Every structure is written in structure tokens, then in C-alpha cells.
Structure 1
Amino acid sequence: MLYPGQEIVKEGVFLYDGEVECDIRIIRSPVRFGTGDHEDEPHVGDDVEQIVFYVLYGSTTERGVFGSGSGAYESLQEAMTQLAATAIGPTLRWTT
């Protein structure tokens, strides 16, 4: 589910555990979401109007369902680089 103002800017697939093909998306968001925890410092806990990019990971059991995601990245390039380098690895293939 996308929130108002969010848009999908990149889509692809990757192999989970080397076997299960899963979807992946990078979305552009006009808001960097905070934790919402009143015990956190305001720069961590509060939402901020800022263009950021989030990665949404597809379910390993149901295509088209995105149940988990990343923290905010400041650029599309940063999100893509972090995915390729650390989170997903060489099985990542962009489709759009």
C-alpha cells in the first residue's frame, strides 16, 4: 500500500535463499517517517517533510504482497547501491 504522494520509481525481482523469486520495489516518498515514539529525540521520532526513498520487499510466499521495508534513503542511487551491495546481492534484477 502506498501513502498519498508516494510513487513507485523502481521495480525488480530477486532470489530469496537462492530459490524463491520475490518482488522488490523502491518508492519515492515526500515524508521521512519517524518512529512515533515519544521517548525518542524529535529528529528520530517525528515525521519530516523530506523527499526520501524506501525499499519494499515482497513476500516469500505470496507475489504482490510487500510486508517489510527498509529505512529511508536520501537518494534513489543510495537505495539501489545498498540493495545490490548488502541486502540482496547478485540475484537482484531490475525490471523497470
Structure 2
Amino acid sequence: MAVGMFRLPAGTDLRPALNGLEGNLCQCPHWGYMLKGTLRMHTADGVQEYTSGQAFYWAPGHAPEAIDDVEYVDFSPAAELHAVLDHVKGQPSA
């Protein structure tokens, strides 16, 4: 299990960076707690927003977009998380 503190500035949309993964979405499950901001989560089933003070579970098949500056604590299976992060880091910068 990996534990991380994530910060995304307003306007960050990870959908382009996830291209090439199954369904072009993050396939790692995440459990966590929103500390700050609003995060819009795109899935094959639609869109859901998460705001500060909410606990969350994001099933495999999602792509985050920061509406505001966002901070959250995240708990994820280490191998799956590192595979996604390595993919994102390997994408060309926009």
C-alpha cells in the first residue's frame, strides 16, 4: 500500500496524460480524503465532484480534473499506483 499527499493546481486535467492506459483512464483504485478544493472525476459512467471534507473511493477507470487548487491524502495499492505514475511521467509535456 502506498500513501501520498497530492496537490494539483486549478485547471489540471490528467485525461491527456492517461492516454494509452486501458480506456485512457487510471486503472488504480484509490481511497482517501479531500483536504482542499474541488476535484471533478471523469469515468465511463459520467462525472462526479469531490470537495474538501469528503472521504472517497475511486474505482479503477477514472481521470481527475482539478476545478480549484486541490489537496488530498491518497491510499492506493503500490504496484498499481507506480505503474500509473510512471506512465504519466513518460508523457510529453503540453
**Which of the pair has more CA radius of gyration?**
1
Same fold flag (TM > 0.5): no
Q: Tell me the TM-score normalised to structure 2 length.
A: 0.31
- Flag the structure with more relative contact order, 1 or 2, with Cα contacts below 8 A and sequence separation at least 6: 2
